[in-house]
Amino acid sequence: MATITETAPPADSADAQEHWNNWPNAKGFDPEYEERTPVELAVTGKIPAYAAGTLYRTGPGKSEVQTEEGQTFHISHWFDGFSQTHRFQIIDSGESEPTRVLYNSRYATDELIEYVRKTGALAKLSFGQKRDPCKTVFNKVQSEHVPPSGPSGMNIGVTLSVNMPGLDAQEDGEPSKRWGGSNGIRTLYAKTDYNGFKKLDPETLEPIGLATQASLHPELTGQLAASHARSDPKTGDMFNFNLELGATCTYRVFGVSASTGKTTILATFPGTPAYLHSLLITEDYVLLCVWNAHIDPLSLAGKSFMDAILPTDPSLPATWYVVDRKHGNGLVATYESPAFFCFHTINSWQEPSKEDPTKTDIVADLVRMDGMEFMSSLYYDNLISSRSTAKEFAAKRGDALRSTITRFRLPALPSSPSSDILKATVEWSTCKSLSPELPTINSSLVTKKHRYVYSTTFRGAATLTDGIMKFDCETQESRLWAHHGHSPGEAIFVANPEGVSEDDGVLLSVVLDGMAGNSYLLCLDARDLTELGRAHVKGVVGFGFHGQHVPTVGLPTGDY
């Protein structure tokens, strides 16, 4: 059941196509707006004082470059857009004054953009860049220029980590004592799905350094990782994987202590290489699911990463690896489930087994798709609503592009490490009509059973996002915020420190008003998705991926 708080034609209604045709979004895919010095935003409504802190956002900015030869270089895939970072400072002005919001932003790839301007080509392996029509013209020009290697030459900007363990000077003590200075922010790193980190100045957002997972541990030299590391909400310890491609592909699951900065490799095992954007943790385990985005490493040579991802084969199971993160037992169990694809996991936890209460089950929630078709919808030709190719693509959109919130159960973990292949089951799968993505929860419930999930919707009313939803895992009911021509980004939950319920807090989302051609920071009441306030940006904030909110007091919200 869905309750709509602002009306828009349903995606499957007779008016849906006309509604989509009048949903302009082109500016969100090639924004020209940048504010290197913080400016104050006009606020309408009210943003609660407890939301005070810093909200960072990152993702693609520019997607086109005018070359020296007078041609226009077009980025093909949304994931390759030249990254830009944004900073919203939410300031509590006291009881008698309204909350203020300051905004600044910075393009993070100036050196790479300059290389493209001179050569008409990308310098590095891309995610989905199609054959460059300028390549034959610029072959000689490319050979005369050295590909950029500095921080602003690397296109890293999918997720953000504040004070990342292992790459930041650590202090002993409880997590709350490790946060000092303005909002406790000492360092800021951008991450992506390959083995690389970009260090940004946390105030100016200027790219100032590069690192890799090998900076954490010398054995972490593999090419791929998850953009979404997972962090323990109590200790701040960070967990991720490293995938080394080769004749035998090797996964290394590791953890980084937030108190000491030491990195420990928890398990090493061979496995099918795959594009894994995220993973999960429970109180005692790291849960790495190798879903069906398998990679052919031989296809990476001279091609885009998309070319190396194999079509989903429904006959091949997804494989779930359970790794002990506390007691040194390594890989303790392996499960299989029917094939699926996923970008974003939601949360997982342990509970007494339904089969045998003396044993433990792992329950895992994630956003699930049947196959890889959604990846093709993210080419700019299919996203920019003013292009004829986007209209053609929209006309043939089908269920293959839709996602669900799905709950898996990994039953009866073995009491000691086992090589047996066990079976994971699907408990329920729902919300296909809303097609959720970019899920978030109250981050204090990571590794615990949660009730509410917040996400954007891809209902088909627009080429990208077309609403924000709240899903109740207990009642299976959903509530929707949607507004014609307004495209929201990831909705980040900020808890009310005086709240008594899981959903007592606000959602912060950066929204493009396609009709007005400007963006705004939206604040919704997380309990019922009623609008509380907006902070109006004097330009367009590009459609981004992810962000992190760092409260004035306390620990950050979201993945580290």
pTM comes to: 0.93
Sequence-distant (6+) residues with CB within 8 A of 506 are 47, 48, 51, 493, 494, 496, 523, 524, 525, 526, 532
With a pLDDT cut of 70, the percent of the chain lying above it is 90
**pLDDT tens readout for residues 486-540:** 999 999 999 999 999 999 999 999 999 999 999 999 999 999 999 999 999 999 9
Q: 212 — alpha (psi -120 to 50), left (phi > 0) or beta?
A: beta
Residue among 29, 26, 114 at smallest CA distance from 65: 114
**pLDDT tens readout for residues 341-391:** 999 999 999 999 988 899 999 999 999 999 999 999 999 999 998 898 988
Q: Are 9 and 462 in contact (CB under 8 A)?
A: no
What one-letter code names the amino acid at 273?
A: P
Annotated binding site for Fe cation: 228, 277, 344, 546
Query: Would the pLDDT of 54 be above 50?
Result: yes
Return the structure tokens found at 214: 């090998």
| Intra-chain end-to-end CA distance of the chain, in Å | 34
Place of tokens 């650590």: 170
**pLDDT tens readout for residues 415-438:** 999 999 999 999 999 999 999 999
Annotated binding site: 228, 277, 344, 546
Render 173-226 in DSSP notation, one character per residue. Answer: S-GGGG--SGGG---EEEE-SBS-EEEE-TTT--EEEEE-GGGT-TT---SB--
Backbone angles phi, psi at 101, to 5 degrees: -135, 125
Query: Would the pLDDT of 20 be above 50?
Result: no
How far lies 202's CA from each of 230, 261, 299, in Å? 21, 20, 37
**pLDDT tens readout for residues 276-317:** 999 999 999 999 999 999 999 988 877 789 999 999 999 999
What one-letter code names the amino acid at 276?
A: L
How far lies 451's CA from each of 127, 302, 433, 443, 448, in Å? 35, 45, 20, 12, 10
